[in-house]
Structure 1
Amino acid sequence: MVLFLVIPGEGRTGRRSHGISFALKRGIFRSKKKHRWTKIILSGIRNRRISGKRRLLFSSGNLSGSRKERRMEYRGNILVVDDEVGPRESIRMIMKPYHEIQTAKSGAEALQKITDESFDLVTLDLNMPDMHGVEVLKRIKEKKQEIEVVIITGYGSLETAQQAIRYGAFDYITKPFNIKEFISVVNKAICKKRLQDRVGTVISDLKSKGITDWSVIMNQGEPDPQGGTVPLGEAWSNCKNLSLLDFIKVLSRTLEAKNSNMHHHSERVNHYSMVVAEAMGLSEKEQEVLTISAFLHDIGKVGISNEILNKRGKLNPEEWTEIKEHPRRGVEILKPLCLPQEVLKIILHHHESFDGQGYPDGLKGEEIPLCARIIQIIDSYDAMISNRPYRKALSLDWVIQEIQSCAGAQFDPRIVKVFVDILTRQESLNLVGSS
């Protein structure tokens, strides 16, 4: 069984055909009398071009699951954005059996639809004539941060991939892509959006009832599809497509939403930390622990008022004491998740200083977990290059000098050297601004 996707090409008359056929069958689609079609045999990522000028968009995969099973899956609302009719209609037809689909042929049309209607996911082309896809992504997140966005492009680059990460894209897919894998990514994004909505609703309901203790909130019941309830800290288990790390990302984003200055902070800290971890040769297990810790390092700030977090002037002693409690508070919030002890130690100690002058326990040097020392530098870096209510983002040159001046005092000198080398070379980390 081979999957054939026919994408419209140019006919001899110069007219462009607009039909599209999508089928699972043996044999090859025949050309229409008046128009030629691009016929592509899809097998892995290799293709044979029969005629026409269109490029391969998709590769086949073994599409598993019965139609009945597919219909039992949650149907999300998806907006497909692409200025070319072929790719746009192809994605629409692929996803139609699974979800409710609408399309937009420009960035402006997409933004208008997002304003007027509710969507769970947007699939977004990058190279559109009216507005670049990264700008569309940025505006989508400004309008409705909760919408998941999957970038789909045939002209991918490291720069656009990093920009997509910066502005909160769920995934970045290059053409050609495997249909089965594409459907899996979309379903996973929809599941994540649903979980985020549920978590946000549960948290809002509990807070409206006066429950503000986050360790209590994490143990509150959330409806189970099979009846009964499960603790909010285990709600991710109801979404079979999501891992614990996916849930942690959802939780982090939901709780960061209370402070506009914190949007995507944990994602950037994770991204930068992993670049440093790879450069330092950390093991796969250490990197897994670092990722979880990076996403959750500031979760203890959820109980601190925005008045304190966004204060323009100097904090008074009482306010500073409350700020310094957020590592301990974060550990208490996360206890119901039964995370590895290494993660809780990293979160607890990510504000310790190399010279012993940090908090909460005044650890020094090698007493501080290595991953906590990495997060401390990256956390400070992201704060300095981000806009704050009380100041504009600082320049990269100034930030590098400041980090170097703190080596041996606030920061581990060895990590400082690695990170500054990365910043100087700009090989994998050229996102020095914050939205």
Structure 2
Amino acid sequence: MTGYALLSNVETEYLLSQRLTAVERVSVEQFNAAVHQDVLFNPFQYHYDQEHNLFIILTPIFAADFAYLLPHLEHFFQQISGHPSRILMGIVGHGATEQHIATAYIRSENGQKAIDVFDPKSSNPERFFANSGSWLGAAFSGLFRSLVPFSNNDVVLDGDASTTVHYHSLGTQSYFDGVSCGYHNVANILTCRKIIAAGEEVSRDTILSRTANPVHEIAGILNKEKQYQEKVRVSFKEFMSKAWAESMMPFTSPEERKTLTIANYFFGWPKESTALKILYFISLAFIAIPLINVVRRTPVLLLNIIAESANFFKNLLINWAPTHAVTQYIRSGLLLFSLGIQGLFKAPSLVFQALSSPIDALKRVFTDGSKSSKTTNNDQKPKESDKDDLPKGSNVQSIFAQNGLLETRSLQSSAAPIAGLSVEHHKETDSEQDWIDDFSDSVKSVPTNI
């Protein structure tokens, strides 16, 4: 995948650990024992800056659980420091159209708890902290906020005035950018740390005054580690390589492409079978196949080059974090334009590929359909949930009910109706599955060299 990729909790922890020393890991048992409750909190990492009385939580938490978890976190950290402390963390909530992450800063002011959330976008704070919400309504609301940004809002969590959040929109991430919030969060946490160390007040203005190029800065840290380099494939060469591969090998997987050379995918040289190689020369396929590929691949290549050039420009804009309202509008307008150009040329390239290589297209469609149907049937079988089966990427192992904590077994009962509703569908698709398998096998047997 080219461009900037979404960051998971693993990458977030890694990035912060590269800039923070003495990172501690807290186990579930250690945390629950300290707060004297079974909070069912996943293991998390934190850094303690004793000089500035600051705790930085490296592991993001869910915004819907923020109000419940915050008192326990404050109690846990107070046992370490001996007094109330500042806390910085990333919180994951509902964005305009996708999961989103913002930066929370908690401290005491005049004996009162103060909570600030700094969002690189202009999200709806009520929706951000809610358990669910309307996707369509959020999309239009987010678009409106991106055009008329609300830089400051207050939202009361769980009806408790002591957990009033002061929400600040930074606008450094565009509404049309759905991938870079993780980069902005890491950069904003590190920026807030520098502001605190300098003895200044953490505010929207002080953060923006120190914001330079957060996405580029964080991507540079990822590029130093080989296992994370796939997250930031943003060179122009990467986009042109993608355009070439999708034009010359349109119906092959990335794994298959690694096994092919230009002799295979362009000149039609058989990978195996001596008989086919002999036939290749006797039939003069080494002349016919390249000529055919020039005719049917060249138009697609030109379309893909333009589409991927627009994609490259889009990622350049994602890399730009303007701090003034005017330049933010310009950035969003250019980003929308690049998305339109990319789609305008990508769509006809896909149509042309399907029309110029119908057998390859059918083969791919029915092969993928067969695999997808088999996977779906397997996934529809009822499976009891267990806390060990929950994703390690999340930092909360269960959903908290309004009047207490849901035990792990509640996940079993909630999952059962979903699996039960799928039983009839599974029976109905058996005959469809056989038909797909038979057709896929017949299509596979058709030669596609020319």
TM superposition score normalised by structure 1: 0.24
Larger RCO (CA under 8 A, 6+ residues apart): 2
TM superposition score normalised by structure 2: 0.23
Decide which structure has greater helix share.
2
